[in-house]
Chain A
């Protein structure tokens, strides 16, 4: 193998690593927020079914809790972008 081919191969390995890494980062990072937001939504619906007159308050709190549970997923999205575009 001459020098030129080695260089092309090295570049190809770097691109493949970036793609695989970003995909794993986003895929694994989305599991936690998914479970968390599902729990939040389920319990909010439970409590609304129990006390329908509190629906407004519960919906507001549910959205805040959703935004906070989403944080780690957003972190992994950001890191996936960094891997793809800035590394």
Chain B
């Protein structure tokens, strides 16, 4: 019985692998046909972003970040609905996966924040961040799809002209976490929430006093230390995902999308992406617990 089951699983895996290889080799051949010939054409536009709108910074938007954020949200919501539809006391595979993720995060939260009032909110924040960043990194790390190639030229009057060109299967999806705006928003949100919880837990006077804690003349150092938290918090994620994306693009281009990219996607998407998502949510818990405790 067990042997039969194993054999059936292996044929299913074989079919999946065959389909994957056929799609992969087809995409590789198409890319060899249509890729630009010189590497500087591919890598010259790496640091350019597709930006819509003129004027001050709050009137400019990055359409790719918004589109990919909506895709990530849609994936998470669809998964949540699929779990909710078959919700039962005896969990099936999806529900067991969701429960184990939440259990994993809740154990970390409970061991570092003993207070039950803050533990529940912290758990919600940390799990939300973990799920969003993990799905975004997986999408940006190992699923080839539509990417945007932007050329930036400076016009006659000194204005910046951006031309966006859409390319199919030449690069992985743009991860929303590869944009510093996304990461900095979450990091500042975590900073504000941690100080709000700190005021709530210790009282306003004790919170103010914590800035002059060891000695009064260390006040500027404490303030700089607090402000450095969101910067390093967001830059770590941004650098990892952007650097991984650029490395995948460059190395995949040099081998013309043959045989090496799946390994790179495996490393930068699954391993590095999940670890960075885990580190981001763990640091969130650590910052909140440092203010609350």
Contact = CB atoms under 8 A, between A and B. Distances in A.
B243 A85 contact: no
Interface in A47-87: 63-64, 66-68, 70-71, 74-75, 77-78, 81-82, 85-86
Given A64-B278, A64-B279, A85 B239 contact: no
Contacts, number: 44
Given A82-B47, A85-B47, A75 B276 contact: no
A77 B236 contact: no
A67 B246 contact: no
Contact of A71 (B232, B242, B278): B232
B229 to A, nearest CB: 13
Interface of A (DSSP majority class):
helix
A66 B278 CA distance: 12
Given A74-B243, A78-B242, A81-B243, A63 B46 contact: no
B182 interface: no
Interface of A: 63-64, 66-68, 70-71, 74-75, 77-78, 81-82, 85-86
**Smallest CB-CB A-B distances: 3 pairs:** A86-B47, A74-B239, A85-B47
23 contacts: A63-B278, A64-B279, A66-B275, A67-B275, A67-B279, A68-B236, A68-B279, A70-B240, A71-B232, A71-B236, A74-B236, A74-B240, A78-B235, A78-B238, A78-B242, A78-B243, A81-B46, A81-B47, A81-B242, A81-B243, A81-B246, A85-B46, A85-B47
Interface of B: 43-47, 232, 235-236, 238-240, 242-243, 246, 275-276, 278-279, 282
